[in-house]
């Protein structure tokens, strides 16, 4: 585990899954590009608005499944237990430059979250 | 790229994304366990029923984003262009034993596929 990018990725992951959003954001570059399921977001403020609600409102706990990396990139897969879904796994492919994450390709299944929102809105009540 | 598990993972990936489902299934162990977004499937027949329709009916093309591995596991992230969704990325965490894939944790966003099915069923027509 000598990949510098993986070290950064794991520190970022530990911070936000530990609900320390400020510590996590310290690893994010100002001009980060995030390719998320709903589309591309750019800039650290958009990133915070993407990650913050998930980390602070929905997340119960996270468990790492696998992490690999090389000099400049890291690939993580982990499971999360959340309020909307007992198991909501995700994968992140991160590019690191000068100790900061400059790109993230983020994959997760939006379906349980959409179903949760529908239930909250009362549309899905049976 | 000396990881034996990654070699198997990439060969499996090339086969199914090349729509050669038989060649892909040759890498799958009879007692495979698949943790997919909708839940756990066990056995090679269930695996074929999971992967086959996606590879044969929905997939247009795939592009590897990242692949890492060690002796016995590999982690892939790739994008796919599909009939339901222009971009439908996925991640697979594979465990390999004796040259066969015995476990797969498979992550993708089901939402565009569910929306496609809803449109096909006529529920989502505006």
The pLDDT assigned to A79 comes to 98
Q: How far apart are CA B125 and CA A82, in angstroms?
A: 32
Q: Quick one: angle between helices B111-121 and A111-121, nearest 10?
A: 60
The token duo for B99 is 């040259």
Chain B neighbors of A75, CB-CB under 8 A: 66, 68, 75, 77, 91
The pLDDT assigned to A1 comes to 55
Under an 8 Å CB criterion, which residues of A touch B? 37, 65-66, 68-70, 73, 75, 77, 89-91, 93, 105, 107-111, 114
Tell me the CATH architecture of domain A4-121: Roll (3.10)
Residue among A65, A106, A87, A93 nearest B95 (CA): A65
Q: How far apart are CA A116 and CA B116, in angstroms?
A: 19
Beta strands in B2-115 (DSSP E): 28-36, 39-42, 59-69, 73-82, 90-97, 100-108
Contact B90 A109 (CB under 8 A): no
How many CB atoms are closer than 10 A to CB B121?
Answer: 9
User: pLDDT class for B15, splitting at 50, 70, 90?
Assistant: very high
Each residue's pLDDT tens digit, A13-62: 999 999 999 999 999 999 999 999 999 999 999 999 999 999 999 999 99
User: Taking residues B82-101, what's their average pLDDT?
Assistant: 97
Residues near B36 by beta carbon (within 8 Å), at least 6 away in sequence: B50, B106
User: pLDDT class for B122, splitting at 50, 70, 90?
Assistant: confident
Each residue's pLDDT tens digit, A58-83: 999 999 999 999 999 999 999 999 99
Residue among B51, B39, B54 nearest B113 (CA): B54
pLDDT of A125 > 70? The answer is: no
The pLDDT assigned to B2 comes to 82
pLDDT of B1 > 80? The answer is: no
Domain boundaries, chain A: 4-121
Alpha-carbon distance B30 to nearest alpha carbon in chain A (angstroms): 23
B85: nearest CA partner in chain A: A37
pLDDT of B126 > 80? The answer is: no
Instruction: Please give the residue that has the higher pLDDT: either B69 or B124.
Output: B69
Q: Are B49 and B59 in contact (CB under 8 A)?
A: no
Alpha-carbon distance A74 to nearest alpha carbon in chain B (angstroms): 9
Lowest mean pLDDT among A17-21, B46-50, B95-99, B121-125: B121-125
User: Taking residues B91-101, what's their average pLDDT?
Assistant: 98
**Cα(first)–Cα(last) distance of chain B, in Å?**
49
User: pLDDT class for A122, splitting at 50, 70, 90?
Assistant: confident
Residue among A27, A63, A76, A72 nearest A48 (CA): A27
Chain A and chain B share a number of CB contacts under 8 A equal to 61
Residue B119: CA count within 13 A, CB half-sphere: 10
Contact B107 A110 (CB under 8 A): no
Each residue's pLDDT tens digit, B41-88: 999 999 999 999 999 999 999 999 999 999 999 999 999 999 999 999
Its pTM stands at: 0.94
A68: nearest CA partner in chain B: B68
Phi, psi of A90 (to 5 degrees): -150, 160
Contact B108 A107 (CB under 8 A): yes
> Which of A68, A70, A109 is facing B108, going by the closest CB pair?
A109
Q: In what order do the strands lie in the sheet with B28-36?
A: B39-42, B28-36, B100-108, B90-97, B73-82, B59-69
Contact B109 A110 (CB under 8 A): yes
Phi, psi of A4 (to 5 degrees): -60, -35
């Amino acid at each position: 585990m000598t990949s510098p990018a993986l070290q950064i990725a794991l520190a970022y992951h530990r911070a936000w899954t530990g609900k320390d959003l400020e510590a996590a954001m310290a690893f994010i570059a100002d001009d980060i590009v995030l390719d998320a399921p709903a589309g591309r977001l750019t800039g650290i403020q958009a990133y915070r608005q993407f990650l913050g609600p998930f980390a602070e409102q929905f997340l119960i706990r996270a468990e790492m499944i696998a992490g690999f990396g090389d000099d400049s990139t890291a690939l993580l897969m982990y499971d999360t237990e959340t309020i909307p879904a007992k198991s909501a796994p995700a994968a992140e492919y991160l590019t690191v430059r000068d100790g900061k994450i400059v790109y993230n390709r983020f994959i997760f299944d939006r379906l349980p979250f959409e179903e949760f929102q529908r239930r909250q809105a009362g549309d899905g009540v049976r």
